[in-house]
Amino acid sequence: MIDLDINIDGAYDIRSVRGGDVNEAFKVYTDKGPRFLLIQRGGDNNFFQAEIKGLKLFEKNGVNAPRVLDSGVSKEGAYLILDYIEEGRWQDQKDLARELKKVHKIESPNGKFGFEFAYRGSSISFSNAFKDNWREVFLEERLDKLKDKLVEGGIWSREDLATYEKIREVIDTYLRRRESAPVLLHGDLWPGNAMFSVDGDPYLFDPAPLYGDWEFDIGVSTVFSGFDDDFYRTYLQDIKKDPERAIRLEFYRLYLLMVHLHKFGNMYRSSVDLSMEKILSKSMDK
């Protein structure tokens, strides 16, 4: 049994499990059933605040997600204890799209874009300060901050910066004419943060929540393979077609690729360059 300085009622065994690249993850066996434990080494009491709030909003609004059972700080760092959902085989992804629809029906309580808690990642953080429009949150608080990190880290040259400024003008133009409503976003929607239980129920977890444009989640979800055509058809079936949607979705693909370029280095360089080329070429077609 792994020895941790965390009091979990009825625990009799703890095993390390796969849980992403940000936190250490453990399956805790208790006399009341298994629990899922996340630990951020050196993390403070604020580290999991946004995720906890997001999961509680999911629960309140009937979205299938692990329940928050406890959180705090120990000598190991910040920790979060959740229900353990036994993973099964992936089922009909139309059901998964319907769960995401539930998330996007949750409206910002103050009508603004952002979130009450900051985004805290292993390599970069964003303030999530509330703004009156989506463009400010996405472009100024996300992409511009990423650009600064890439330049400071020596990953981007002056030439790259000049290309980014052209891209920025395009994004600014398109988002200014997009009428966005602030709804709750998962914020990190890739197949590794979705699953089906052994009972075949779809689940969403590990959110990085903020109130923003629903297209953000859809764009981010396309970066890594895993969501199928049924997922997207079901999500979009009642949404009016928009000829500019394709280029806007590429903005959000670029965002996630820039996050990975900052975090993992030049292995994502070609993907970022290709995304920027697509944005410039699509904008010239308009």
Q: Which residues are catalytic?
A: 188
Q: Which two tokens stand for residue 17?
A: 């499990």
CA-nearest of 61, 93, 66 to 183 is: 61
- In angstroms, rounded to a whole number, what is the distance separating the alpha carbons of residues 188 and 169? 25
Using DSSP's 3-state secondary structure scheme, residue 88 falls into coil
- Residue 221: CB atoms within 10 A of its CB come to 25
How crowded is residue 170: how many other Cβ atoms within 10 Å of its Cβ?
A: 19
Q: Which residue has the tokens 């009428």?
A: 179
* Helices within 68-154 (DSSP H only): 93-104, 134-135, 144-152
